[in-house]
Chain A
Amino acid sequence: MSLRLFTHQLRSEQLLFWRSKEAALFIFLFPLLLFVLLGSVYTGKIYGVPAPQALLSGLIGYGCANTAFAGLAITLVLRREQAILKRLRATPLPASTYVAAMLVSTLLVFALQTAALFCLGRVLYGTPFPTAIGSLILAVIVGSAAFAALGVATASLIRSGEGSSAVVNFILLPMAFLTGSFGPTRHYPSFLRAIGDVLPLKYFVDLVNAIFLKGHAIWTKPLALAILAAWGLGGLLVAVFKFRWEPREG
């Protein structure tokens, strides 16, 4: 893989992302907006810390699924159905470089968003900056990778461009609710919590909570890491076997 091509494509992906107002707004700004809203509604303590800090932790989870899963899935379906992927395949840009640049670009957006959440929390609600930085960075990378794999898998299963963003959000929003990304789930009925317990976002939020709220290292949550990784691997398998580069023939 040539580094020149990779950086060229990474720059291109960043240009495409920030130039598209809808993507930049919905993917990057929306979780920040939700944080400002929810932070002003909840008061008192959640999980033994001030409410805004707990909410921030949950919204990192939502941001991850929103960026890496939903954003990537929708982008890929559109690019496939508009024959953009097909057109790119006729150029010397290797598929591996293309995929790598897309993933790193997604990670970059999510990392920026996470940093913005911390700054916003600090300014608006006096939330602390994370102490276990290394663990947090690792968690962000593992989470992005797992949700990106699930995003590519979902894109592979969606057949047409129309309604793809509805389908993706139909998965994303309930998942975020059920896994505590928008606030704690302990008052939910037990069957809802049972559903939440099998979803990957639950385990990513668990990781971030342990790291950011408790200051624990990522290794203190091996089970959550394993379940998240398992979801990611499952997504990867589907992606490898089902991904198409070309639109469906009419």
Chain B
Amino acid sequence: MSAIVVRGLRKSYGELEAVRGLDFEIEEGEVFGLLGPNGAGKTTTVEILEGYRKRDAGDVSVLGHDPERPGREFRERIGVVLQQSQLWQNITVREMHTMFAGYYEHPRAVDEVIELVGLESKREARVKTLSGGQKRRLDLGLALVGDPDLVFLDEPTTGFDPAARRAAWEMIRSLRTLGKTVLLTTHYLDEAEQLADRVAVMREGVIVRIGTPRELTTTDLEVEVRFRRGGEDVVITTTEPTRVLYELTSEAVARGEELERIEVRRPTLEDVYLTLTGDDTE
């Protein structure tokens, strides 16, 4: 079963075409990453699926609902972490969770959620005393307290230090164990690679590549063959590494030479990403 089906999705702001025809499906229980630089159209896409923005064209189904007509049942089943939101500063982590839990028919136990997002030591702390990373975890806790089937995370770790990012990754991984479907946006490649079952790479409102992180690196992109000859580095880039290696090595063997430091290098996801998103210097 697909949790989300998107066909031909388009959205413009005045002259600006922010999303220019997207097609993708997200299976139930899948963690799906929308990866792309700032301005690629990730938030626009996610907020259309959450029911905040109206699309100009295309068919969208989220948990069997059209998010432009979000009923109570739809709200019960989704959890949202916005790219930016500040919540009330003067109540405690626990009070905030209790407040949100009260909006749902079948909430999770508040203390359990607080533990899940690793805020148990901050249970009675006022929100204003939390660090940036802790506030983001609070956002995640509030998204989970209604026990949703589908969770949207719009740049959940932007601005985190490496340790906080790793902690957040652990938490997002635990959503998979809970069987949640997750749609995550990020402009960090390693985040998509670490967390997502499948990744759609977005650029200027279109998906330029979609697949598992593995598939993205094993397609038609070129492979580098490196070695040293006469004291100089030689690099051959090719889409046919087998043939190139065969020619090089048979030639070398025939001449009785050794190809020094020979090495075959696959592109990393980072290479792919930079190629696809046009060498965005970020």
How far does the alpha carbon of A111 sit from the alpha carbon of B184 in the complex, in Å?
47
Structural contact, B85 and A16, CB atoms closer than 8 A: no
Of A84, A87, A92, A93, most buried by chain B (CB within 10 Å of CB) is: A92
CB contact under 8 A between A15 and B91, given known A82-B86, A83-B84, A90-B50: yes
Structural contact, B105 and A92, CB atoms closer than 8 A: yes
What interface size band does chain A fall in? 20 to 34
Which stretch from B73-81, B165-173, B244-252 is at the chain A interface? B73-81
Is residue A8 within 8 Å, beta carbon to beta carbon, of the partner chain?
Answer: yes
Is residue A12 within 8 Å, beta carbon to beta carbon, of the partner chain?
Answer: yes
**Beta-carbon nearest neighbor of A249 in chain B:** B13
Structural contact, B82 and A86, CB atoms closer than 8 A: yes
Structural contact, B85 and A91, CB atoms closer than 8 A: no
Is residue A20 within 8 Å, beta carbon to beta carbon, of the partner chain?
Answer: yes
CB contacts under 8 Å to A, within B72-117, are 72, 75-76, 78, 80, 82, 84-88, 90-91, 95, 99-100, 102-105
How far in angstroms is the closest Cβ of chain A from B135? 12
Chain B residues with CB below 8 A from A12, complex form: 99, 102
CB contact under 8 A between A84 and B75, given known A91-B146, A246-B52: no
Structural contact, A84 and B104, CB atoms closer than 8 A: no
Chain A residues with CB below 8 A from B99, complex form: 8, 12, 15
How far does the alpha carbon of A202 sit from the alpha carbon of B236 in the complex, in Å?
85
Is residue A19 within 8 Å, beta carbon to beta carbon, of the partner chain?
Answer: yes
Is residue A89 within 8 Å, beta carbon to beta carbon, of the partner chain?
Answer: yes
Structural contact, B75 and A86, CB atoms closer than 8 A: no
How far in angstroms is the closest Cβ of chain B from A241? 18
Structural contact, A87 and B80, CB atoms closer than 8 A: yes
Structural contact, B52 and A86, CB atoms closer than 8 A: yes
How far does the alpha carbon of A15 sit from the alpha carbon of B99 in the complex, in Å?
10
**Beta-carbon nearest neighbor of B71 in chain A:** A92
Structural contact, A83 and B91, CB atoms closer than 8 A: no
CB contact under 8 A between A87 and B102, given known A16-B90, A19-B90, A20-B90: no
Structural contact, A84 and B88, CB atoms closer than 8 A: yes
How far does the alpha carbon of A151 sit from the alpha carbon of B103 in the complex, in Å?
26
Residues of chain A at the chain B interface (Cβ within 8 Å) = 5, 8-9, 12, 15-16, 19-21, 82-84, 86-87, 89-94, 246
* A-B complex: 10 closest residue pairs judged by Cβ atoms: A83-B85, A92-B75, A8-B102, A82-B86, A90-B80, A91-B103, A19-B90, A93-B103, A12-B99, A87-B85
